[in-house]
Amino acid sequence: MPLDSPQHFGWVGLGAMGWPMCLQLLKNSSATSLWIFDVDESVLHRFATEAPEGKEVRIATDAKQVADESDLIFTIVPEGRQACQRGIIIFMCGIAADDEKFSVIYAILKTMGKSINPMGGRGLGLAAKLSNNYLSGIIALATSEAMNLGMKLGIDPKVLSDCLAQGSASNWVNSTVNPVPGVCPDAVTSKGYEGGFKVQLMEKDMKLAAKAAQNVGAKLILGQTAIDAYASAASDSRYRGKDSRVVYKWLVGETPRDRSCLTRRKAVHSSSWYRS
């Protein structure tokens, strides 16, 4: 790959996240040509017709042709579709910050995302992703448990979430995509859990993190419990295909669109539990 300015890009995989990312790359980069490949041939032709004017898009017969014809190849699947569409995804890169190629890679990735993180070397981007998704899954499950506990003790879910956001339990999941429908009105959790990072993908990443931990001797106390929770949710037809925070609905035994919890203000009267 020319270090100064690669012109011929390749992209493998135009799915829910690959498509918007590839569009961002075409719109904002200096690429003169783009080779694309996907197992779904209809997707390739549809993307080629919707590509920005002035950008040459070529359909490859397989992934090998993409590699042969391109200076730089993308096969990444980072965050959710919404972040990809808005161009605000976070990249975790298997490269050192002082690598001579990083400045070029940084400029290209910046056309698609807001934060580019060199993790130190080959393979460490994946290590960062597994660590991130493991922690994210644990936090989402713990937030679901805490919300369920507080609500059953009689606290309004929005009041509880606002309180948690101000103390030591503050976290991104609670404040931005709280698992309880209605707490964060604009989040996928308030829209039937449609979109976002699917629960079966969270199960997969939790298992990959656990396997990696086993390989390097890193002790995970909470891992198996979380894996069991996500696996159970993913195997239930009511939750499979939904955003991973649907694990809350699995926890409380409700269907994804059941919002009755928001009208149940005092499931247990405040004086009935602390006196026993």
Distances (CA, A) of 212 to 41, 124, 172: 34, 12, 25
Q: Which amino acid is at 94?
A: G
Beta bridge partners of 93: 118
Q: State the catalytic residues.
A: 129
CA dihedral 40, 34, 17, 126 (to 10 degrees): 110
Helix intervals (H) in the chain: 18-28, 41-50, 63-69, 81-86, 102-109, 124-152, 157-164, 172-176, 199-216, 223-234, 247-252, 270-273
Nearest to 158 by CA among 193, 191, 190, 198: 190
C-beta separation of 212 from 130 below 8 A: yes
C-beta separation of 142 from 245 below 8 A: no
